[in-house]
């Protein structure tokens, strides 16, 4: 009762590989299996040896395991079972590395057979059989499960533990009978014959033995003969137990003759010779391996001497490097200390620069406030004189005074503007505007300069530009105002052309190319690089206010704030062209009414009571005159606390609040007004820059801000809006 059926499954498994090199190994293993099945051990060993060499060459562990399994079968069956076990165990190691469960099943069963039939070692045989059963159940292979259980049952029968063995037999009986597998059936029938003979049921035992013998006669001359040797031996033992010595002798003779046929001396001699040759080659490989290792060790020894020499040299070099590193470390520490000192000095310089920048910002802000306050008075008093004395409307002295005040105001605004741009305090706003309207407004406001120099203003506006765009129209107007006024000042008896051309459309963004071209005096090449610098003026004539020298610098920085650059083309005597391209959003959904600045005349509608909180006497006069000229009823106070007391007693429609007052400023005054629950609109009337105080004004409860000096129409529009709201 051995493991012959494993050969059939081993052969069928070999066809499963597809790669050419693996296929050649499988072909050899298939032929080796066929030779073994036909009892040709010599040929089987030769083919198995070739398969082993090729499997190792392609490093296929599963095929190496199968080759060792085949070699082990030949040694076990025909030559030396102990050596066969050695090859089984080698194969099992490779099978475990390859994680091929099927090959592990075969090897575990063969090792179990060795311990069961060769050593009669039940414990080891059962352990290996059950290990094979585990792998068979893991891959759910019904046939392998059947073979494993047959092997386990056979081991128990061999140890006279028939009841335990029959438990495994009973679980696979239907599967064995239905399956078309002669080896399995012979094994099954002979084992049941032995089982019933042991129980004393001789009739049933002989029925099973006879079925096994009939199946064995169908394929005589093959490895099945080796299995039938054990069947005849068990049948002879059955008849001895029955005391039928005649049949016992008959089957004993069959056992002897078949054994001599299968294991004849010539076949055994040839297999032994082939096995010895295989072992010699195996030993030779081990000797060659030892020689290679010895040669390698000799080579390594020589290399070790060289390595020692190199190590000494490298050690010397490392010592030199270590010394060099030490010197470099000392130098680095010194340099680091110097850098630390330099960094501390730079940090101190930076702090001083930041402090200077902050002082500069504070200085510019303070100066602009202090200049705007008296300028408000100068401009306001000038307007009052002109209103009250119409005969002085053409007075050159009064007009010069007004012009000088406005020029000084322009200078203050430009200084504040350039300071804010440099400190990145300007943020572009999004407003809905119309390009033609903005250009027309600027052209109309500069018409007097054009007429003064006998110039013609021309507008070229692309009709493809959308009616409504979204962007910062105030900054755009400031750019146009500077460039157009500049062009008009340096052109006489010529033409200034303002062009707006749609360049491209990317999604909802419209890229518009603007240009301001004149036919004036032009700019020399050496001056073109410096005209954008601050306080630089070209061709300034004595007694002529050409500007502050900040206009083009502001223009350049505003265009950059829009994300673009300004280009200049000029030629002496022929004129100058400034151009730039800006992108604006255009959303169809925002085609709604545009809020236009309009003059509001409240004199004919209703008389409003306005409370003016202002500590400067001149500014009190100017503000009161502006309000009363439009029929507002005006009350003047120069103290915030007095304003709070009066608002608690009397009703006012609106409060004009100065910010910079001595006792309590406008912010704190407004906060106290709001705490008392007074909801009268408060407008800050101040010389501070709007952007600097907006956040603080809103948080204190101020509704709006108007910067001094201001246009009266702007004041009346704000008053109207807040009161009506």
The average pLDDT across 712-720 equals: 82
pLDDT at 681 over 90: yes
Q: Please, what is the average pLDDT of the chain?
A: 80
Are 722 and 654 contacting, i.e. CB atoms less than 8 angstroms apart? yes
Q: What is the pLDDT of residue 537?
A: 63
pLDDT at 612 over 90: yes
Which of the four pLDDT bands, split at 50, 70 and 90, describes residue 701? very high
Higher pLDDT, 292 or 517: 517
- 468-499 pLDDT per residue, tens: 888 888 788 888 888 998 888 889 999 999 99
SS3 of 171-215: the string is HHHHHHHHCCCHHHHHHHHHHHHHHHHHHCCHHHHHHHHHHHHHH
Which of the four pLDDT bands, split at 50, 70 and 90, describes residue 610? very high
- 541-555 pLDDT per residue, tens: 444 445 556 678 788
CA distance 667 to 686: 11
Q: What is the pLDDT of residue 74?
A: 84
Higher pLDDT, 31 or 286: 31
- 217-257 pLDDT per residue, tens: 876 666 677 778 888 888 888 898 888 888 888 988 888 88
The average pLDDT across 178-190 equals: 85
The average pLDDT across 581-597 equals: 65
Which of the four pLDDT bands, split at 50, 70 and 90, describes residue 450? confident
Higher pLDDT, 24 or 268: 24
The average pLDDT across 577-593 equals: 77
Which of the four pLDDT bands, split at 50, 70 and 90, describes residue 413? low
Q: Measured at the alpha carbon of residue 265, what is the angle toward residues 251 and 284, in degrees to the nearest 5?
A: 135
Give the number of other CB atoms < 10 A from CB of residue 326.
10
- 58-81 pLDDT per residue, tens: 989 889 999 899 888 888 877 788
Q: Token pair of 368, please?
A: 């602009």
pLDDT at 16 over 70: no
What is the edge-to-edge ordering of all strands in the sheet holding 609-613? 633-637, 609-613, 654-657, 682-686, 704-707
pLDDT at 4 over 70: no
Q: What is the pLDDT of residue 273?
A: 61
Higher pLDDT, 327 or 262: 327
pLDDT at 209 over 80: yes
Higher pLDDT, 390 or 321: 321
DSSP 96-109: HHHT-HHHHHHHHH
CA distance 408 to 423: 23
Which of these ranges, 60-69, 125-134, 265-274, 436-445, has the smallest mean pLDDT? Answer: 265-274
Q: What is the pLDDT of residue 422?
A: 63
Q: What is the pLDDT of residue 402?
A: 60
Are 534 and 418 contacting, i.e. CB atoms less than 8 angstroms apart? yes
- 626-678 pLDDT per residue, tens: 888 877 899 999 889 999 999 999 999 999 999 988 889 999 999 999 999 99
pLDDT at 363 over 90: no
pTM for this prediction: 0.39
CA distance 460 to 463: 9
- 560-576 pLDDT per residue, tens: 888 899 999 888 988 99
pLDDT at 178 over 80: yes
pLDDT at 590 over 80: no
| 540: DSSP letter | P
Beta carbons within 8 Å of 2's beta carbon, 6+ residues apart: 113, 117, 226, 227, 230
Higher pLDDT, 331 or 79: 331
Q: What is the pLDDT of residue 73?
A: 87
Q: What is the pLDDT of residue 278?
A: 66
pLDDT at 97 over 70: yes
The average pLDDT across 35-64 equals: 86
Residue that has been written with the tokens 């005589």 in this structure: 220
* Residue 400 CA neighbour count, 13 Å, CB half: 5
Higher pLDDT, 98 or 302: 98
Q: What is the pLDDT of residue 368?
A: 59
Largest CA distance in the chain: 166
Helix extents (H) in 431-550: 435-445, 447-452, 473-489, 525-528
Give the number of other CB atoms < 10 A from CB of residue 50.
17
The average pLDDT across 298-316 equals: 81
pLDDT at 177 over 70: yes
In order of 358, 443, 590, 703, the CA distances from 429 in angstroms are 25, 23, 16, 19
Q: Token pair of 18, please?
A: 């597809």
Q: What is the pLDDT of residue 11?
A: 38
In order of 331, 610, 704, 715, the CA distances from 626 in angstroms are 76, 12, 19, 10
Q: What is the pLDDT of residue 589?
A: 66
């Amino acid at each position: 009762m051995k493991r012959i059926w494993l050969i059939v499954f081993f052969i069928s498994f070999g066809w499963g590989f597809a790669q050419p090199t693996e296929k050649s190994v499988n072909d050899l293993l298939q032929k080796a299996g066929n030779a073994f099945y036909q009892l040709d051990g010599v040929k089987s060993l030769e083919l198995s040896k070739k398969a082993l060499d090729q499997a190792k060459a392609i490093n296929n562990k599963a095929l190496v395991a199968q080759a060792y399994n085949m070699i082990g079968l030949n040694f076990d069956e025909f030559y030396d079972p102990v050596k066969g076990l050695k090859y089984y165990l080698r194969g099992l190691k490779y099978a475990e590395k390859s994680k091929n469960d099927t090959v592990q099943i075969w090897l575990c069963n063969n090792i179990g057979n060795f311990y069961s039939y060769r050593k009669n070692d039940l414990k080891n045989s059962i352990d290996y059989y059950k290990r094979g059963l585990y792998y068979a159940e893991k891959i759910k292979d019904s046939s392998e499960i059947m073979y494993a259980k047959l092997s386990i049952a056979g081991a128990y029968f061999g140890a006279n533990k028939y009841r335990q063995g029959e438990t495994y037999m009973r679980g696979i009986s239907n599967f064995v009978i239905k399956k078309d597998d002669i080896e399995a059936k012979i094994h099954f029938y002979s084992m049941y014959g032995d089982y019933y003979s042991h129980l004393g049921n001789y009739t049933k035992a002989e029925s099973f033995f006879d079925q096994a013998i009939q199946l064995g006669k169908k394929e005589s001359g093959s490895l099945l003969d080796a299995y039938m040797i054990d069947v005849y031996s068990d049948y002879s033992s059955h008849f001895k137990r029955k005391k039928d010595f005649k049949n016992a002798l008959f089957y004993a003779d069959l056992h002897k003759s078949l054994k001599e046929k299968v294991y004849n001396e010539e076949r055994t001699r040839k297999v032994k010779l082939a096995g010895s040759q295989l072992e010699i080659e195996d030993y030779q490989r081990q000797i060659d391996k030892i020689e290679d290792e010895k040669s390698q060790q000799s080579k390594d020894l020589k290399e070790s001497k060289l390595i020692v020499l190199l190590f000494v040299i490298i050690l010397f070099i490392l010592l030199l490097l270590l010394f060099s590193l030490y010197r470099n470390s000392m130098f680095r520490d010194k340099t680091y200390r110097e850098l630390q000192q330099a960094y501390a000095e730079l940090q101190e310089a930076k702090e001083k620069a930041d402090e200077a920048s902050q002082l500069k910002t504070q200085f510019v802000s303070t100066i602009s406030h202090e200049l705007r306050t008296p300028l408000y008075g100068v401009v306001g008093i000038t307007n009052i004189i002109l209103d009250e004395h119409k005969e002085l409307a053409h007075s050159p002295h009064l007009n010069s005074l007004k012009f000088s005040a406005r020029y000084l105001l322009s200078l203050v605004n430009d200084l504040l503007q350039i300071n804010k741009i440099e400190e990145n305090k300007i943020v572009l706003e999004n407003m809905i505007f119309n390009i033609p309207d903005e250009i027309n407004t600027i052209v109309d406001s500069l018409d007097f300069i054009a007429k003064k120099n006998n110039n013609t203003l021309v507008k070229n506006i692309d009709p493809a530009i959308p009616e409504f765009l979204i962007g910062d129209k105030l900054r755009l107007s400031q750019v146009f105002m500077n460039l157009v006024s500049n062009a008009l000042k340096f052109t006489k008896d010529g033409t200034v052309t303002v062009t707006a051309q749609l360049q491209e459309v990317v999604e909802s963004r419209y890229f518009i190319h603007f240009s301001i071209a004149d036919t004036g005096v032009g700019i020399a090449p050496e001056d073109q690089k410096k005209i954008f610098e601050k306080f630089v003026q070209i061709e300034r004539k004595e007694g002529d206010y050409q500007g502050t020298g900040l206009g083009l610098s502001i223009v350049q920085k505003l265009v950059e704030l829009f994300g673009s650059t300004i280009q200049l083309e000029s030629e002496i005597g022929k004129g100058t062209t400034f151009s730039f391209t800006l992108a604006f959003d255009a959303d169809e959904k925002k085609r709604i009414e545009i809020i236009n600045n309009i003059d509001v005349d409240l004199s004919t509608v209703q008389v409003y009571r306005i409370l003016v909180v202002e500590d400067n006497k001149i500014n009190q006069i100017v503000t009161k005159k502006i309000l009363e000229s439009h029929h507002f009823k005006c009350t003047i106070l120069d103290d915030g606390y007095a304003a709070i007391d009066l608002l608690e007693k009397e009703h006012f429609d609106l409060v004009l609040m100065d910010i910079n007052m001595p006792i309590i400023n406008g912010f704190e005054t407004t906060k106290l007004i709001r705490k008392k629950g007074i909801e009268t609109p408060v407008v800050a009337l101040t010389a501070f820059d709007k952007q600097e105080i907006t956040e603080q004004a809103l948080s204190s409860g101020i509704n709006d801000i108007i910067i001094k000096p201001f246009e009266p129409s702007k004041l009346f529009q704000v008053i109207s809006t807040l009161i009506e709201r």
